[in-house]
Chains A and B, each alone.
Chain A
Amino acid sequence: MQNIITLAHGSGGSATLKLIDQVFKKHFNNDILSQGDDCAKLSITNSNNLVFTTDSFVVTPIFFNGGNIGKLAVCGTVNDLSTSGATPLYLSCGFIIEEGFSIEELEKIVEAMSITARECGVQIVTGDTKVVQKGAADKIFINTSGIGIVPDGICISGKNAQVGDKIIISGTIGDHGCSILLERENMGFQAEIKSDCAPLSGLVHDMLEVTSDIHVLRDPTRGGVATTLNEIAFQSNVSIVIEEDKLPIKREVQGVCELLGMDPIYLANEGKLLSFVPAEKVEAVLNVMRKNKYGRDAQIIGEVSKAGEPKVLLKALSGGARIIGLLAGDQLPRIC
């Protein structure tokens, strides 16, 4: 078998991490990249507070219940900036469009980007458009890059998780992954499952108003909560314990997952964040989160249990325990 790229390399799981390590990091190696966060913290001129990030969006379908690829492209990059503790300021956007694509649909996508950017207080200040032959791309791909400024006194990183930290999820998990799956596969479920696609800059702002002492923030997108928690466990070299019955999951999402043999903890989210907060600050942070529409269902789901032995342990509702690892590729529905 030739060594080629498969869809597993884009799933956000262990195949993606391996590809990053063995190809990208090997050739791009530098101190900033090796931090392993979703944003790069840059030292330019006299400021150490500039952060920079980029993300590409290739979702199918491009219009889905709860948003479209344009809204997603702004939210995704804004959320990466926000969860590094930064105030997002400027975005760029690059479009790769398949010939034959409807200009009316393009305008809907761009309008959604504009509305979302306004909500976040960011400006889209530069961009690029490429058109490729029919079949060379699937309708439209968007890349957004963004920069923001981290206020003084804020130090948030996947490396900062500490023993005793409580872990908060800002709301129900798996909504986006589940809604996209249902729309893509046209399964005819009657469940109303909407993507949670949302910008989180306001929520993070509210949280940082309460305390600057937040150790880790991360938006659990591809690979879901399980993958993100594993990344943090390894970055911080800590063991994490979460409790299954504390995980907020919509009944409809749970039902679809039960039926297909999938685990919502691995499904993508596009409007949620995980927060690692010292125990003495957790109630204050939780309260302020629940006052924000994007954190209404926030919940403490577990804690950092000990240093060393990086792993994520889930206490099942049965009282048993299991280790939550990285997936090799995408979850596949089971046969029966």
Chain B
Amino acid sequence: MANYIDEFRDKEVIQKIVDNLSNYSGPNLKIMEVCGTHTMAISRYGLRSLLPKSIELVSGPGCPVCVTPTSYIDSALQLSDKKDIIITTFGDMMRIPGNESTLLYKKAIGNNVQMVYSPLNALDLARENPDKEVVFLSVGFETTTPVIALTVYKAKSEGLNNFSVLTANKTMPEAIKTLAEDSELDIDGFIYPGHVSAIIGTDFFSNVAYNMKKAGVVAGFEPLDILYSINILVKNISNGNIILENMYSRIVTKEGNTKAQQKMYEVFQAADAVWRGIGNIKNSGLELNAEYERFDAAKKFDIKIKASPEPKGCQCGEVLKGKKRPIDCKLFKTRCTPENPVGACMVSSEGTCAAYYKYGE
């Protein structure tokens, strides 16, 4: 019986694809993997070391923690200082540095910060602690936002008044468009995130191929998923066949998960969003709509934190856009390490710099 792991880690098949790719003799190609989980998988399986020098993989802004601006972290830190507030968050957010400290530090000095595995766990906490306000740090792309939407919807249905979310949710399409239009970046093709595509489908990415002349492939996360996808992408680009291919059809459909999309836009609406290192991108974020506004922690607690400049010398922005590699940043492995991260790309387990550091690339 298929277990959907072993079949995608077959050494012999991997070797065949690697041999095929090593025969590539065309012009240098730059392929961007947009998703943080792809970045980690590429590093974890040592895939860069298997590719010829003429095929370069660059990492995009697809790690939700990495693109969360410092001002958002500062808002969360400020909220955690308030009496009777429990901050709940996905694990990855705990180490990300704001301007002065981290949630891990706030937890250590006694603030009530708790790691959860699902926003629904945060809702449980709110029910169990009626005398406390439970704030969930709502970050992530289309993959995680539907569950957060469901959580807020449930809070409203149950009439819970001690639950709110601090939103920094983002959507992928406008960011991809920004990158595809960036002439400095000069990306030949995109490896699109499988998880996001499972929700939003493949139409948008097809449009990028047809209208912006950027070949693309939707990929899964096993080594063979990624290598197959690179192989297809290289073949298509070489043949001038600029299309989108769905190589993750066991999960991703053209339409995506319409129920999840519906739930997401029942609670959230499109908004401009600041991406760390990239800046403001129109309509690339999500905010709670008028019907759910009372669950917005920033409004509920009147949090107003001005955007702050990136740390001096930090190249996270250029790394997120794929313009620089971590090793091009002077702070990498010197001032900026997983123990003392300067920029967000070093903090998150999905961050490009963390992947390069952890897996010694």
Interface residues of A (CB under 8 A from B): 1-2, 4-8, 14-15, 18, 185, 187, 245, 251, 254, 258, 260-261, 263, 311, 313, 315-325, 327-329, 331-336
Contact = CB atoms under 8 A, between A and B. Distances in A.
Contacts of B360: 311, 313, 322-325
Given A318-B227, A319-B11, A333-B91, 8 more contacts: A6-B105, A316-B45, A320-B46, A322-B361, A328-B338, A333-B92, A334-B36, A334-B348
Interface in B114-158: 115, 117, 139-141, 143-144
A258 to B, nearest CB: 7
Contact of B109 (A4, A318, A329): A4
B108 A5 contact: yes
A318 B357 contact: no
B44 A14 contact: no
B47 A320 contact: yes
B339 A14 contact: yes
8 contacts: A5-B108, A8-B339, A317-B223, A318-B11, A318-B47, A319-B11, A332-B95, A336-B64
Which of A245, A313, A320 has its CB near the most chain B CB atoms (within 10 A)?
A320
A224 B94 CA distance: 22
B185 to A, nearest CB: 24
A261 B350 CA distance: 9
Given A5-B108, A336-B64, A318 B349 contact: no
A7 B37 CA distance: 25
Given A187-B117, A318-B14, A261 B349 contact: yes
B15 A319 contact: yes
A335 B144 contact: yes
Contact of B90 (A6, A328, A333): A333
B18 interface: yes
Contacts of A5: 108
B339 A332 contact: no
Which 9 pairs show the lowest CB-CB distances between chains A and B?
Answer: A320-B46, A323-B360, A332-B91, A328-B338, A322-B359, A336-B143, A318-B45, A318-B223, A328-B339
Interface in B2-20: 3, 5, 9, 11, 14-15, 18
Interface in B56-105: 64-65, 90-95, 100-102, 104-105
B257 interface: no
A251 to B, nearest CB: 8
Main secondary structure of the interface of A (DSSP, over half): loop
Q: Please indicate which of the listed interface residues B37, B104, B339 has the most CB atoms of chain A within 10 Å of its own CB.
A: B339
Contacts of B337: 328
A318 B144 contact: no
Contacts of A7: 104, 107-108
B43 interface: yes
Given A323-B359, A336-B140, A316 B104 contact: no
A199 B37 CA distance: 38
A316 B223 CA distance: 10
Contacts of B339: 8, 14-15, 18, 328-329
Contacts of B15: 319
B331 interface: no
Contact of A4 (B37, B64, B108, B143): B108
A263 to B, nearest CB: 8
A334 B65 CA distance: 9
Contacts of B3: 251
A14 B338 CA distance: 10
Contacts of A320: 45-50
B276 interface: no
Contacts of B46: 315-316, 318-322
A333 B94 CA distance: 11
Contact of A1 (B14, B100, B223): B100
A254 B9 CA distance: 13
Contacts of B141: 336
B264 interface: no
Nearest to B350: A334
A335 B64 contact: yes
Nearest to A15: B339
Contact of A6 (B18, B100, B104): B104
A325 B47 contact: no
A317 B295 CA distance: 46
A319 B5 contact: no
Contacts of A321: 46, 49
Contacts of B325: none
Given A320-B50, A335-B144, A258 B5 contact: yes
A332 B94 contact: yes
A328 B104 CA distance: 13
A251 B37 CA distance: 21
A320 B5 CA distance: 18
B115 A335 contact: no
Interface in B291-339: 337-339
B21 to A, nearest CB: 12
A187 B91 CA distance: 15
Nearest to A336: B143
A8 B104 contact: yes
B358 interface: yes
A327 B338 contact: yes
A248 to B, nearest CB: 15
A282 B330 CA distance: 45
A333 B121 CA distance: 15
Contacts of A8: 104, 339
A11 to B, nearest CB: 11
Contacts of B43: 322
A328 B65 CA distance: 17
Contacts of A1: 100-102, 105
Contacts of B139: 335
Contacts of A258: 5
B18 A319 contact: yes
A254 B47 CA distance: 20
A122 B141 CA distance: 55
Nearest to B118: A187
